[in-house]
Amino acid sequence: MALTKVSYSLITGTPVNVLDYGADPTGVADSAAAIQAAINAGATLKQDVRIPAGVYKCNAKLTLTTNFQTLRGDGCQTVLWGNHSGYVLETGNVISGVETVGINVSGMYLWSPTGSGMNIQNTNKSRFSDLWAWSSGVGFTIQELSIINTFTNLTFSSNLYGFMQALYPILPAVASISSGIFINRVTVECNALTFINALVEGSGSDGVLITGTHVVITFINLTSEGCNGWGMNVSGVTGYNANLTLVNAYFEANASGSFRAQKQSGMNLLGGQYAQSVGGNIFFFEVVSSYVNNITCYNFTEDSASVGNIYSAISTNGNFARNGFLATLTPNSATPTIRPPANFGGLGWKTNNSSATVYTNFLGGYAGLTIQIFIRDANTTVDFTGSSLKGNAGVDWVASNGDWMDCTFDGTNWYCTINEAS
């Protein structure tokens, strides 16, 4: 009696499985042709394609170009190892302006020692979730006619490098030299993109790089730290960027600074922003022409020993509004500089003095500026007797942790009202 081998794909309703097409989950043999054959079969059969846990060495790029395709793995234990200099995985049509819709990619790790992770081009109304990448090139590229797409749980992290090599020793070494997430307008606009839970750590360049003309880009819960460039670099090379929104962004220890915007119109920094720089500016707004305007920042905290500025700008236009902007005064300085731009409005500052410090002046103010100083140590005294600081009925104030004061500058002196938490 003849026996028929039952494969995963013969079971009704079961996704196409790359193992049935000869893919090698040990990472020894080249699996590119087998995985691509499974992807093509899934498109023909209108079925999902599954890549089980394992390492799949791919000597050529994998592509998804058919509408309504789904490719899913078993999380970070499904590793697509790009053993070539291009992208590991690419979605969308290669013809500019011709769109592919309904793509769904989830649950896999893109590993590329000499190339890049994923290229999403001319791909619309699609979802990308639970994806990891570590590559010498860009982790995730979104470009051309890519609109109304959602990205959830993207990770480009050097901290997972050792764990992955311990899990799969066959994986070769990777040294990142490029950005984690790259949103690029080539010939047509790349709009209405939403990122939820994105983590970039240790990229060789900017954590997130946005170039060209884009409209409506939203990041919710973004962490960008330890990058050898900006935490986020919004560079309007060929036009302007409109309506960029960050909700809960965390920038730490990025070499060039936390955030840079060029030719930016209508930017919202909302809710729980935190920024720390190891040497550059915290926020840097560069206006090549008249594009930067209407920037709103809510609930921002800066905590840095940076030698750069908390805010720096070239030819700022429009308005920079704030609410809950909290930055750190230079520790142990009697005359710390507050450095606000003329159109910024009021600021909140906190102390961080590790030794006894007596404030005698705040440098960098302009007439009419009002600031709040929050005491966050037990080493601060304010000189109200013979300095440019006026208040407390002319009596020096030994502040306690938790106290604060409101100060208004008239162009010569600061007039302060103290508030004691106790």
Over the stretch 108-119, which tens digit does the pLDDT of each residue have?
999 999 999 999
pLDDT value for 307: 38
Answer with the residue of higher pLDDT: 345 or 82. 82
Report d(CA 342, CA 323) in Å as an integer: 16
- Say which residues have a Cβ less than 8 Å from residue 268's Cβ, sequence separation at least 6: 243, 244, 245, 246, 295, 296
Q: Which of 28-32, 52-56, 153-157, 371-375 has the lowest mean pLDDT?
A: 371-375
Name every residue whose Cβ is closer than 8 Å to that of residue 228 and which is 6 or more positions away in sequence: 203, 204, 205, 255
Give the least confident one: 191-200, 314-323, 398-407: 314-323
DSSP SS3 for 114: coil
Cα Dmax for the chain: 106
The answer to which of 27-41, 113-127, 131-145, 275-289 has the lowest mean pLDDT is: 275-289
Decide if pLDDT at 2 tops 90.
Answer: no
The CATH fold of domain 332-422: Jelly Rolls (2.60.120)
Q: What is the mean pLDDT of residues 299-310?
A: 51
**Per-residue pLDDT, 305:** 45
Q: Could you tell me the pLDDT band of residue 4, with boundaries at 50, 70 and 90?
A: very low
Tell me the CA distances in angstroms from 120 to 198, 241, 242, one per residue in order.
16, 20, 21
pLDDT score of 100: 93
Of 320, 399, 405, 401, the residue nearest 362 (C-alpha)? 405
Higher pLDDT, 248 or 19: 19
| Helix residue ranges, H only, 359-410 | none
Question: Which of the given ranges, 142-156, 278-292, 310-324, 382-396, has the highest pLDDT on average?
Answer: 382-396
Pairing verdict, β 193-201 and 70-73: unpaired
Average pLDDT over residues 404-419: 94
Kindly tell me if the per-residue pLDDT of 378 is higher than 70. yes
Question: What is the Cα–Cα distance from 301 to 359, expressed in whole angstroms?
Answer: 22
As a whole-number percent, the residues of the chain with pLDDT over 70 amount to: 77
The token pair that represents 195 in the structure block: 């990122």
Please give the order of strands across the beta sheet that includes 230-235: 62-64, 87-91, 116-121, 140-143, 181-184, 208-211, 230-235, 257-262, 281-286, 311-314
* pLDDT for position 286: 54
Residues contacting 48, CB < 8 A, separation 6+: 15, 16, 42, 70, 71, 72
Burial class (CB in 10 A: 0-12, 13-18, 19+), 397: buried
Q: Is the pLDDT of residue 239 over 60?
A: no
b/e 70-101 (16+ beta carbons within 10 angstroms → b):
bbbbeebbbbbbbbbeebbbbbbbeeeeebbe
Mean pLDDT of 398-422: 92
pLDDT on residue 263: 64
The average pLDDT across 6-30 equals 83
Are 156 and 200 in contact by the 8 Å Cβ rule? The answer is yes
Please count the CA atoms within 13 angstroms of the CA of 40 that sit on its side-chain side: 8
Q: What is the pLDDT of residue 18?
A: 98
Q: How confident is the model at residue 19 (pLDDT cuts 50, 70, 90)?
A: very high
* Higher local confidence (pLDDT), 192 or 174: 174
What distance in Å separates the CA atoms of residue 76 and residue 94, rounded to the nearest whole number?
28
**How does the average pLDDT of the chain come out, rounded?**
83
- Smallest CA-to-CA distance from 388 within 364, 409, 357 is with 409
Q: At CA 220, angle to CA 219 and CA 223, rounded to 5?
A: 85
What confidence tier does 342 reach under pLDDT thresholds 50, 70, 90? very low
Q: How confident is the model at residue 68 (pLDDT cuts 50, 70, 90)?
A: very high
Q: Among 27-31, 211-215, 301-305, whose mean pLDDT is lowest?
A: 301-305
Mean pLDDT score, 351-356 = 92
Backbone angles phi, psi at 162, to 5 degrees: -65, -40
Q: What are phi and psi of 44, to 5 degrees?
A: -70, -45
Domain spans in the chain, listed from the N-terminal domain onward: 332-422
Residue listed under structure tokens 């490719």? 71
Question: Can you give the pTM of this predicted structure?
Answer: 0.78
> Among 87-91, 103-107, 117-121, 289-293, which stretch is predicted with the lowest mean pLDDT?
289-293
* pLDDT the model gives residue 230: 86
Q: In the prediction, which pLDDT does 318 show?
A: 45
Choice among 102-106, 175-179, 294-298 with the minimum mean pLDDT: 294-298
Q: What is the DSSP letter of 363?
A: B
- Give the whole-angstrom CA distance, residue 100 versus residue 77: 28
Please report which confidence band the pLDDT of residue 191 belongs to, taking 50, 70 and 90 as the band edges: confident
Query: Which range, 31-35, 173-177, 313-317, 328-332, is most confident?
Result: 31-35
Give residue 405's pLDDT.
Answer: 93
- Going by pLDDT thresholds of 50, 70 and 90, the confidence category of residue 343 is very low
Q: How confident is the model at residue 354 (pLDDT cuts 50, 70, 90)?
A: very high
- Taking CA 333 as the corner, what is the angle to CA 327 and CA 338, rounded to the nearest 5 degrees? 35
Task: Over range 196-223, report the average pLDDT.
Answer: 87
Place of tokens 């390492």: 55
Q: Which of 91-105, 388-402, 404-418 has the lowest mean pLDDT?
A: 91-105
Alpha-carbon torsion angle 104, 109, 110, 111, nearest 10: -170
